[in-house]
Structure 1
Amino acid sequence: MGADQHTLKRQRLGRELRQVRLDQGLTLRQVAARMKMDGNKLGRMELAKAYVEPHDLHRLCDIYDVTPDQRHAWELLLVGKRPQHWWRSYADIMSAAYTEFVALENDAVEAIEYAPMVMSGLLQTSEYATMLLSTGARALGLEQAEALGAVRLARQQRLSTEPSLKFHCVVNEVALGFDLGEPEVLREQLEHLARVAKQDNVTIQVLPLSAGRMALQPVPFTVLKFGDEADPDVASSEDLGGTILYESEREVRRCNRLFDQISRAALTPDDSMMLLHARLEEGNGS
């Protein structure tokens, strides 16, 4: 199925923005600095993988000092209904950073993640997600917790619909026994984890407590990959303030290197499933 007219317009706008920048001998970093924007995001705009907001276009027109006719021509390429992705219906409960992360995840071809305390959002059951979101330091009301839980379930469609996301997650052994106060919820979560691990596009490893200092790494993080050298990896993490995106080459490289170290210290996928099933058997005996 061919691209729709809106997509074609975005692609044309991106190509023209890139060509004007190159004609003026400017780098992504130079323009992004003047835009107060990350260079990777500007690069995705040129590749039509990030939406060009009207105020961003006007700023670019000023930076490139384009003619009024050129400015008007570019503005026409923005005319039309913006694509309504599924996450737009949750805009009232999602932070700007989380919204951008979900949009990037939707475009990614591969994701790697380390989950030190609780299950990855891409692996959570509905009940587990709701209980997790409604407890702890960032506890939400039940209605909002259920809504954000629904966002996580919607994100999981990337694992089962084509083109499917290639997903490699290392889960700390701590997460296998994280007590939410409802043993049955945890059991169903572990059973779900075992099922998802059977998918060809999913690799799950467990980092055992016996891994020593490596098992003490406390910060969750994800790296999204887009399969294109012109579209660099993006890393993200979470703290009490919410989602944090890292697009600098240094930060992304650090996350990739740390994931390599963690995955090497983790059990193999087969041994990880043996441990998981042992945990389930322990639950049966309790």
Structure 2
Amino acid sequence: MVLGKRLRHLRERAHVSFEEAARAVEVTPLTVRRMEKAEVGLKIPYVKELLRAYGVPSPEIDDFLDLTREANQPGWWHQFRDVVPEWFSAYVSLESEATVIRAYEPHYVPGLLQTEDYARAVLRAGFPNDTDEEIERRIALRVKRQRLLSKADAPAIWAILEETALRRPVGGAEVMRRQIDHLIEALAMPKVRLQIMRFAAGPHPGAFGPLHYFRFGFTELPDVVYTEGVTGAVYVDQPGEVVTCLEVLDRMAVQAEPVGETIPILAELRKEL
């Protein structure tokens, strides 16, 4: 996505039209558009000829091609492609590159904060036809995603969790106790913030389903919002729609219990198990 936007900037700076760029590499103007929108892979020969057509100096071309080769390498999650739906691989990619992740979860503890036993129970319910081996592969992916939290440049995580998610008996009482303990431990991390939306808070603007927001350290990358359903997901990056989703998260953050109340509430819920 970053390189596609840089290609667009270079083309516009050189005052080259889509049609002229397409003739330089003998493709259709639509292909050039799709390269700039990161809807297709960036082929090295095409990129090289486009940069020449845009008047980019040779040393800068070499640097750009090195970045292109790096971008074309499969992400670490590619090794889990047998258990990762195509629509979810983009989520893992966004999660891996984000500097800020905000989330609203109405049903379950966010994946980055789940214990293995809790994840196993959730995945077993979500993929009832999977073999034990496939479930364990999904858990392995989730555990590897969680390494993100211990990195030196870990993203800031701010999640709002429905009280329902903490009262739902996922895996039984002992699994839930360990899960709540894990959340309390996670809150000791400087970049993890968790709020709980109590039943008593009543209706709120995000009650339609899970909502995840990503912000990145690249100026070329827009903020992205992810929502999901039974058969797939929607990724939103149009500024107006992203701002609307961010406003929803902000309003919920005001309506949910303050961050300082999260650990006492978790301790209270644990005693009830």
Instruction: Give TM-score scaled by structure 2 length.
Output: 0.79
Residue 9 (structure 2) pairs with residue 18 (structure 1):
yes
Match of 1:203, SS state, is: strand
1:99 aligned residue (89, 96, 101): 89
Q: Give the distance between the partners of 1:162 and 1:83, measured in 2 at CA.
A: 23
Residue 120 (structure 2) pairs with residue 130 (structure 1):
yes
Aligned match of 2:144: 154
Aligned match of 1:48: none
Q: Give the distance between the partners of 1:136 and 1:11, measured in 2 at CA.
A: 34
Aligned match of 1:255: 245
Residue 200 (structure 2) pairs with residue 180 (structure 1):
no
Moved more, 136-145 or 181-190: 136-145
- The residue correspondences of 1:49-198 to structure 2 (distance < 5 A) are 53-54=41-42, 58=46, 66=53, 82-136=72-126, 140-198=130-188
Match of 1:188, SS state, is: helix
Q: Give the distance between the partners of 2:237 and 2:44, measured in 1 at CA.
A: 18
Moved more, 102-111 or 236-245: 236-245
Q: In 1, are the aligned partners of 2:2 and 2:221 still within 8 Å (CA)?
A: no
Q: Give the distance between the partners of 2:165 and 2:117, measured in 1 at CA.
A: 16
Match of 2:226, SS state, is: strand
Deviation at 1:191, TM superposition (A): 0.8
Map Cα deviations across residues 214-237 of structure 1 (whole Å, 9 max, x no partner).
187040010010134432101111
Q: In 2, are the aligned partners of 1:166 and 1:201 still within 8 Å (CA)?
A: yes
Query: Which ranges of structure 2 fall in alignment gaps of 5 or more residues?
Result: 23-28
Q: Give the distance between the partners of 1:212 and 1:161, measured in 2 at CA.
A: 37
Deviation at 1:81, TM superposition (A): 9.6
Q: Give the distance between the partners of 2:251 and 2:33, measured in 1 at CA.
A: 31
Deviation at 1:21, TM superposition (A): 3.4
Q: Give the distance between the partners of 1:174 and 1:232, measured in 2 at CA.
A: 32
Deviation at 1:267, TM superposition (A): 0.5
Match of 2:168, SS state, is: coil
Residue 199 (structure 2) pairs with residue 199 (structure 1):
no
Paired AA for residue 255 in structure 1? C
Q: In 1, are the aligned partners of 2:77 and 2:89 still within 8 Å (CA)?
A: yes
1:279 aligned residue (251, 269, 273): 269
Map Cα deviations across residues 144-201 of structure 1 (whole Å, 9 max, x no partner).
2221222121111111111111100011100111122421111111110111011110
- Matched residue pairs, number? 258
Aligned match of 2:215: 225
Q: Residue 25 and residue 199 in structure 1: after superposition, are their counterparts in 2 closer, same or farther (change >3 A)? A: same
Query: Which ranges of structure 1 fall in alignment gaps of 5 or more residues?
Result: 1-9, 46-50
Query: What percent identity do the matched residue pairs reach?
Result: 23
Q: Give the distance between the partners of 2:150 and 2:248, measured in 1 at CA.
A: 27
Q: Residue 169 and residue 23 in structure 1: after superposition, are their counterparts in 2 closer, same or farther (change >3 A)? A: same
Q: What is the CA RMSD across the aligned residues, in angstroms?
A: 3.8
Q: Give the distance between the partners of 1:262 and 1:114, measured in 2 at CA.
A: 9
Greater than 6 Å deviation, 4+ residue runs = 10-14, 59-62, 73-76
Residue 232 (structure 2) pairs with residue 242 (structure 1):
yes
Q: In 1, are the aligned partners of 2:99 and 2:216 still within 8 Å (CA)?
A: yes
Deviation at 1:61, TM superposition (A): 7.1
Q: In 1, are the aligned partners of 2:187 and 2:194 still within 8 Å (CA)?
A: yes
Map Cα deviations across residues 233-264 of structure 1 (whole Å, 9 max, x no partner).
01111210133322222321221111001111
Instruction: Give TM-score scaled by structure 1 length.
Output: 0.76
Match of 1:87, SS state, is: helix
Q: Residue 278 and residue 12 in structure 1: after superposition, are their counterparts in 2 closer, same or farther (change >3 A)? A: closer
Q: Residue 227 and residue 143 in structure 1: after superposition, are their counterparts in 2 closer, same or farther (change >3 A)? A: same
